[in-house]
Amino acid sequence: MIDPTSNGDADHVKSYCLMDGSMAYNVVSTSKVLSDPQTPWVETLLTNDALRMAGPILMDITGVGKHSERGQEVFHAWRAYPRQLHVSLITTKLSLQALTDHLRPFTSFRRRNGNTYGLRISDCRVLAYLPAALSSEQWSTLTAPMIEWKISSRAGGDRLPLSLEDARFEHFGAPAPLHLSEEQIEKLSASNEPDALLAEIGKAPSFENESLTQSNYETALECVRAWKVVKGLHRDKLVVLGKKVFGYPPSHRKDQAWLHGKLQELIRA
């Protein structure tokens, strides 16, 4: 068994920021420092030159202070998306290049038909449900070198630690391409449904309504649940349902009794 978290001493522990470039694209793509392939403390997980800044971006932030040049670049990029949902923090003893090489295979997955699709491992909204969609072995392989992995939450406040299994140490090494079953893909799709609905009806997280990020998600989740109860309803009905519910003030939507009653009323209409 290899334990990548116990080799060496505490002085060798490194801190990294994993950022979703697509969620902060206007900032990261225009930053001369972050977008420069020669910047020694930044690595992009996508190798395609045209897409590299729109994918996961890994930054070494070990010992970085807010007022240093590096710190100013990092913290400016951190503020590019509401609730910093594009930022997670990783603690490990791997070097920047080694962690990049480890994470890169997990930026996509293959399905049974052989086609390859992207996987948003730097979007905290996805990371919140990814452990439940992957098998225990897959999750352990992904997190094998991690001492800690914390994600930002919709509610704000302190970042939340992801659950890391002790068995992950057994899976440390060169990860194979990620293959997902149809059932796993369905889990990912179902878990993403509330966020997909919010995007479709123009209620994705915004700085204008940042305080509603959590409650808007909870409302969208209730819409999805109500829609799924009635078998055979076309997805267009979910979008209509979402638009109508979000047409009411947040004070109404936060009232669970009112929300459930209104959803039942709209479903029957």
Tokens of 20: 């979703």
The domain boundary, picked from 131, 163, 180, lies at 180
**Same domain (yes/no): 131, 246:** no
165 and 238 both lie in a single domain:
no
The pLDDT value given to residue 174: 65
Q: Check whether residue 195 and residue 246 sit in a common domain.
A: yes
Q: Are residues 104 and 116 in the same domain?
A: yes
Summarize pLDDT for 210-227 with one digit per residue, the tens. 999 999 999 999 999 999
Q: Cβ(238)–Cβ(223) under 8 Å?
A: yes
Alpha helix positions (H), the chain: 25-28, 69-78, 96-103, 124-127, 130-133, 136-142, 182-200, 213-229, 235-245, 250-253, 256-268
Domain range for 205 is 183-268
Query: What pLDDT does residue 2 have?
Result: 39
Query: Are residue 153 and residue 204 in the same domain, yes or no?
Result: no
Q: Which residues of the chain have pLDDT under 70?
A: 1-11, 171, 174
- Whole-number percent of the chain with pLDDT over 70: 95
Check: pTM over 0.75? Answer yes or no: yes
